[in-house]
Amino acid sequence: MVRFWIAGLIVAASLAGASQAQTQANFVALTPTIDFSHAGYRGGGVAPPVLPVVIRVEPGEGDDTDRIMAALDRAGKAKPDAEGRRGAVLLAAGEFQVEGQIRLKVGGVVLRGAGEGKTVVVATGVDRRSLIAIGARSFAPEVSPVAALRIVSEAPVGAVRLTLETTEGLGVGDAVTIRRPSTAEWIAALGMDAFVGWRPETRLNWKPGSRDVIWDRRILAVDGRNVVLDAPLTMALTVGDGATLRRVASTPRLREVGVEMLTLISRHDPARPADEDHSWTGIAVDRAEDVWLRNLAFEGFVGSVIDLGADSRRVTVQDVAASRPISEIGGLRRRTFYTAGQQTLFQRCASADGIHDFSIGHAAAGPNVFLDCTATDARGDSGTQESWATGALFDGVKVRGGGLTLTHRGRDGQGVGWSAANSVLWNCEATVVEVRSPPGAANVAVGCRGERVGDGVLEDARVMPGRDFHRAQPQDPASLYRMQLERRLGAAGLEALEPAVYPVEVHAPRLTEAEVVAWRAATAAPVASHPLTVVDGRFVIDGQPAWRRRIGFAFFQGQMIPALAEASGPFITRFAPGLEGRGLTDDLDAFAAGLKTGDVVHHNYGLWYDRRRVDHDFYGSPDQRDGEVWGPFMELPWARSGQGRAWDGLSKFDLERFNPWFFDRIARFADLAEQQGVVLYHKLYLQHWLLESRSHYVDFPWRPVNALQATELPNEVPAAEVFWDVSDPVRRDLHRRYIRHTLDTLKGRSNVVIGLDPEYTGPLSFVRFWLDEIADWEAETGAEVRVALEIPKDQMDAILDDPARSRVVDAVGFHHWVYRPDGTLFAVRGGLDKAPREQVDGIARPQDLADRADAGEVRRALWRSSPAMRCRAYREYRDRRADLVVLSDDACPGLGRAVEATVGAEARARLRPDGDLIAPTDAAWGLSGPDSAALIYSFDGAAVELVRPVAAGRSLKWIVEDGVSEAHVPAEGSRLAPPPALAGRPLALWIAPAS
């Protein structure tokens, strides 16, 4: 289908020697069949209205968020006119400070300033939110019960007429979606299943369904089996590609919304020139259509000043300027003007010091247009930045200092590959103009100035061999978009592109302080409380057992593509700039609401901030060539300094400063945990960074090349031994600061349990240091925190035998140790500079593997152990301390309850495992204590053989789930057999202390 519209342009370019008039006529006559003029508000060629003011707001003292939101809510209750428009909220001249977020969530409402430069809205605080968010709260279009209809005839690029298997159930005005699926065959034809790297099939290669192109349209006419759409398609459809059309019963997008005449500033720390602890996005639009953003100025934002999401449609952005962004120079920053929507128009926009100033995102269906936009001091390229945007037009765009590209981006962005199809650069200028075309589609540059790269840059037909007087000259028409718009709508269409003119507002009612107070009261929601408590050595919420279901997370993998991201599951501190949802930046409220009472959410910082490093050592883990880090970002507790250069290309870490976004997220989820009746199990460290692979370690914040502080860690793995060594005063202080900052953040939050590290094999000395810091903090603050200990078994036993430190511990878990089915112990060791998985294969001894073909299954069976040995492990710690929570399933709950009812907690606490008490079996074990007390378990109810005979005549009790039987030690022999009525049942034998 490459022959579609570009063939005409190639013919025109080949007419060397033709007259100027003829050449210009050819370029005019052979323009693309995609009508880009459908981009913009109301489908292009319609000027956004200037709505009358319905309420006026003055800035107040401190945070103005509630004041503005109260006014927007009041305007949202006004009666809409026939077009759904209600009126404008006028922010008076002055400075408004917004610590929260301004949300436009009712259609027909406009937020307007008092005039150019007169109204300033400042985003304060450290949250990375969008300052203004426009869109419906949730977007779940109600689809028609009628099945998706197959498209049964070819449709060229730019088509508005489709032939379906049937049009039954369709009518004029219906909202429909047309889906062109990304099939395995199509992906292979593009070569997008052949990336190279570590496990590219799971990370880089395109997956079926991940690059579907979906157009939202309305039906203008129905003719037999044909429908006519209100805007063109931007990709050719063939009978065999599986394209379908489906009617959408309702599309809950916000409509007729605008923001205008404001200066928006993201306030940062002036002492930190690369500070990112402030608002990232100026205005974000998603789940909205027929929106306008105009006459705006932005300063200081990290990411985008305008971000149009994938569910935005028919949006005009005009006369907007962005300057002085404050951020690191790296990936997913300074994408100043960005769209992933369709039928969006940016005109007369200016960007200074951006990276990707004018960008089109993932599978954006188009048409999308940048018209007469200018970037100065660009630090990167503009163009299509993500996979397979179709129908993009850059018309009269100038990028000074950077490139303008429609190309194959290779591995960038975790496998972007072909970024554009059926897209055009028209009379643009950039340092580099790069245009390449994928199989089955075409991209072109016409009349562009800049160094030329690729096969899609067309020459002026007047260029002759050996002469270049006409090379890289603008072509007629001067603007493709304007020519198409005038052709479609006449002069009225062009008039819609003119700058807006605003009337002088003579009077409007003023929002009163009483109305703000009333709004706060009306919108305040009651806060539920379902605290975590400990009852009889068990975690309990609302009288029900807690710690039921484990909610984990993918700690090193992630995708920015929504269709793939969901598989990564929720993660509290993962950040996907501009994207919210499961597997991206998780909506914490939605995540918590989906949990059940007693669920436990495990959390620690993840592995690698930058997804480039997921390649492991495929390329040797070198210093990255630049800071174009791949998202989503697994955020870390420590803050970037803005100084120097770390191994990932961003600035070094300041280990004495902490990442406020990271800690705000865990604090926010801790609050939600109490409200929802779930548990947050937050572990402070992740040793995975420090061992095994160079790739794990090279970006670690404490590695000397990555930190401002002199940590004295080695430059290569293994690094765990030094990291955990707190004899060095610098490291000791850094650990102390971090531990205390975490405790301060989570102070007073009842549903939090603190842990050390999910893979800890460091020394006992660090565990002692960690517990001592917690104890000191509790003593200083008067607060308490619940602590779970999951460390190597010998270390855990040593801590529990320590009278002072054991008091800090509330719960224990079984950290890479198990009693094998035969009763022998396997446990990883600490202090070895070896990760658990470097040790766990040792669970299988030579005799276990003899004559066994599947060593993996042998090891799995040994780790599963047996019910008897699982009971043994649980009872060993449950008996040791009655108030100690054991984070493991009880394999013998009935017997355990009977033992606890018979043998007092104080007596059980004095017992310790004793391998010399009875002859070893695979179903029995013993504990002993002072004064010859002993507790023997027999899971199969068999007789036990004493190794150390008990004095004859001693009192003993046989304990089973439903009763106790008194007995005495026989005068002769060491064999103790239960009464026949108890034999064969799980039981315990209590030998009371000698009197």
CATH number of the domain where residue 879 is located: 2.60.40
State the Cα–Cα distance between residues 734 and 709, nearest whole angstrom: 9
Q: Which of 479-493, 759-773, 967-981 has the lowest mean pLDDT?
A: 967-981
Instruction: Report how far residue 347's alpha carbon sits from residue 563's, in angstroms, rounded to the nearest whole number.
Output: 31
For residue 235, pLDDT over 50 is answered with yes
| pLDDT range class, residue 5, cuts 50, 70, 90 | very low
Model pLDDT, residue 993: 87
In this structure, are 122 and 227 located in the same domain? no
Residue with tokens 């302080």: 513
With a cut of 60, say whether residue 490 has pLDDT above it: yes
pLDDT greater than 50 at residue 48: yes
Q: What is the token pair recorded at 409?
A: 């981006």
Provide CB contacts within 8 A for 684, sequence distance 6+. 604, 738, 739, 742, 754, 755, 756, 757, 770
Q: Is the pLDDT of residue 137 over 90?
A: no
Q: 723 near 731, Cβ under 8 Å?
A: yes
Query: Cis (ω within 30 of 0) for the bond into 718?
Result: yes
Cα 871-877-883 angle, rounded to 5 deg: 120
Q: Give, as one character, the DSSP assignment of residue 388.
A: -
pLDDT digits (tens, 9 = 90+) for 521-575: 999 999 999 999 999 999 999 999 999 999 999 999 999 999 999 999 999 999 9
CB contact at 8 A, 349 and 358: yes
Q: SS3 for 562?
A: helix
Residues 291 and 428 in one domain: yes
Q: Evaluate whether residue 805 is within a structural domain.
A: no
* Cα–Cα distance, 470 to 484 (Å, whole number): 25
d(CA 312, CA 294): 16
Tens of pLDDT along 175-221? Answer: 999 999 999 999 999 999 999 999 999 999 999 999 999 999 999 99
Residues 281 and 266: their CA atoms lie apart, in Å, by 9
In a domain, 763, yes or no: no
Whether 505 has a pLDDT exceeding 80, the answer reads: no
Q: Please, which residues bridge with residue 962 across strands? A: none
Instruction: Assess whether 55 and 170 both reside in one domain.
Output: no
Tell me if 53 sits within 8 A of 382, measured CB to CB: no
d(CA 809, CA 811): 6
User: Following CA atoms 417, 418, 419, 424 in sequence, which dihedral angle do they give, to the nearest 10 degrees?
Assistant: 160
pLDDT given at position 144: 59
Domain C-terminal end among 442, 473, 495: 495
Q: What is the CATH number of the domain that holds 217?
A: 2.40.30
Nearest CA to 434 out of 410, 395, 403 is that of: 403
* Within a domain: 812: no
Look at residue 773 and tell me if it is in a domain: no
Cα separation, 752 vs 572, whole angstroms: 14
Q: 3-state DSSP call for residue 443?
A: strand
- Regarding whether 342 and 486 lie in a shared domain, the answer is yes
**Measured between alpha carbons, how far is 183 from 417 in angstroms, rounded to an integer?**
16
Do the Cβ atoms of 335 and 353 come closer than 8 Å? no
CA angle 291/292/294 to nearest 5° reads 165
Range of 416's domain?
Answer: 47-137+253-495
Residues 6+ apart with CB under 8 A from 898: 959, 960, 961, 962, 963, 964, 988
Domain assignment present for residue 530? The answer is no
What is the number of alpha carbons within 13 Å of residue 629 lying toward its C-beta?
27
Choose among 227, 703, 186: nearest CA to 439.
Answer: 186
CA distances from 477 to 28, 29, 395, 557 (A): 6, 10, 11, 48
Residues 128, 120: Cα–Cα separation, whole Å: 19
Domain end call among 211, 226, 250: 250
Reported as a pLDDT band with limits 50, 70 and 90, residue 252 is confident
Phi/psi at 625 (5° precision): -70, -25
Q: State the pairing for strand pair 825-827/817-819.
A: antiparallel
Average pLDDT, the chain: 93
Residue 361 has pLDDT above 50, yes or no: yes
Question: Does 233 lie in the same domain as 257?
Answer: no
1 against 720, higher pLDDT: 720
- Residue found under tokens 């960074």: 689
Task: Report residue 761 as tokens.
Answer: 């094999």
829: in domain: no
pLDDT for the residue numbered 115: 93
Domain closes at, from 226, 250, 274:
250
Q: How far apart (Å, rounded) are the C-alpha atoms in residues 408 and 389?
A: 12
Q: Which residues are 645's β-sheet partners?
A: none
Any domain includes 986: yes
170 and 293 fall within a common domain: no
Look at the block and give the residue holding tokens 């969008």.
Answer: 130
Instruction: Using the structure block, give the residue that is written with the tokens 């040793």.
Output: 687
Q: Are residues 487 and 365 in the same domain?
A: yes
Res 35 pLDDT > 70: yes
Looking at the DSSP assignment, which residues form a beta bridge with residue 213? 180
- In 662-794, at which residue ranges do the beta strands (DSSP E only) sit? 679-683, 752-755, 786-789
Give, in order, the Cα–Cα distances in Å from 97 to each of 128, 133, 261, 303, 904.
Answer: 15, 16, 17, 20, 62
For the segment 426-470, what is each residue's pLDDT rounded down to a tens digit? 999 999 999 999 999 999 999 999 999 998 888 766 665 665 655
The answer to whether the beta carbons of residues 86 and 108 sit under 8 Å apart is yes
* Residue showing tokens 């996979």: 387
Residues 326 and 474 in one domain: yes
pLDDT of residue 995: 67
Would the pLDDT of 71 be above 90?
yes
List Cα–Cα distances, 910 to 881, 904, 993, in angstroms: 9, 10, 11
DSSP result, 151-218: B-S-B-TT--EEEBS--TT--TT-EEEEEE---HHHHHHHTTT---SSSHHHHTS--TTSS-EEEEEE
pLDDT score recorded for residue 136: 85
965 backbone dihedrals φ, ψ, rounded to 5°: -125, 125
**pLDDT tens readout for residues 837-868:** 999 999 999 999 998 999 999 999 999 999 99
Cα separation, 848 vs 862, in Å, equals: 9
Give the alpha-carbon dihedral of 310, 312, 315, 320, to 10 degrees. Answer: -60
Q: Residue 50 — φ and ψ, nearest 5°? A: -110, 105
pLDDT score, position 9: 40
Is the pTM value of this prediction over 0.85?
yes
How far is residue 523's CA from residue 76's CA, in Å, rounded to a whole number? Answer: 15
Cβ burial of 841 (10 Å; 0-12, 13-18, 19+) is exposed
The answer, yes or no, to whether residue 410 has pLDDT greater than 90, is yes
Q: 147 or 240, which is more confident? A: 240
121 and 151 belong to one structural domain: no
Band of the pLDDT at 655, cuts 50, 70, 90? very high
Residue 118 above 90 pLDDT?
yes
Strands (E), 465-531: none
Going by pLDDT thresholds of 50, 70 and 90, the confidence category of residue 2 is very low
**C-alpha triplet 594, 596, 602: angle, nearest 5°:** 85
Instruction: Identify whether residues 245 and 257 lie together within a single domain.
Output: no
State how many domains the chain has: 3
Separation of alpha carbons 337 and 831, rounded Å: 51
With 70 as the cut, is the pLDDT of residue 972 above it? no
Q: Which residue has the tokens 């436990």?
A: 600
Dist CA 267 CA 278 (whole Å): 7
Q: Which residues contact 543 (CB under 8 A, 6 or more apart)?
A: none
Spacing of C-alpha 505 from chain mean position: 44
CA distance 298 to 324: 8
**326 and 426 belong to one structural domain:** yes
What distance separates the 2 farthest-apart alpha carbons in the chain? 124
Q: What are phi and psi of 772, to 5 degrees?
A: -65, -40
Based on the fold, state whether residues 348 and 382 are members of the same structural domain: yes
Q: What is the mean pLDDT of residues 462-487?
A: 81
* pLDDT higher than 60, residue 28: no
Task: Give me 76's structure tokens.
Answer: 């949202």
Residue 19 has pLDDT above 60, yes or no: no
Look at residue 949 in the predicted model and tell me its pLDDT. 80
Q: CA–CA separation, 349 vs 373, rounded Å?
A: 5
CA–CA dist 17, 4 (Å, integer):
25
Which secondary-structure segment (H or E) carries 848?
Answer: helix 846-849
pLDDT for the residue 25: 37
| β-bridge partners, 266 | 123
* Residue 389, CB-side half-sphere exposure with 13 Å CA sphere: 35
What is the arithmetic mean of pLDDT over 54-83?
97
Residue 213 lies in a domain: yes
Alpha carbon distance 887, 346 (integer Å)? 56
- pLDDT value of residue 141: 56
Residue 8, pLDDT score: 42
Q: Which two tokens stand for residue 344?
A: 């969006």
Range from 53-57, 136-140, 307-311, 693-697 carrying the lowest mean pLDDT: 136-140
Give the CATH number, domain containing residue 281: 2.160.20
| Other CB atoms within 10 Å distance of the CB of residue 910 | 15
Q: What is the DSSP-derived secondary structure letter of residue 962?
A: T
- Report the C-alpha gap between 33 and 839 in whole angstroms: 64
Give the pLDDT of residue 20.
37
Q: How far is residue 804 from each of residues 115, 809, 852, measured CA to CA in Å?
A: 67, 10, 47
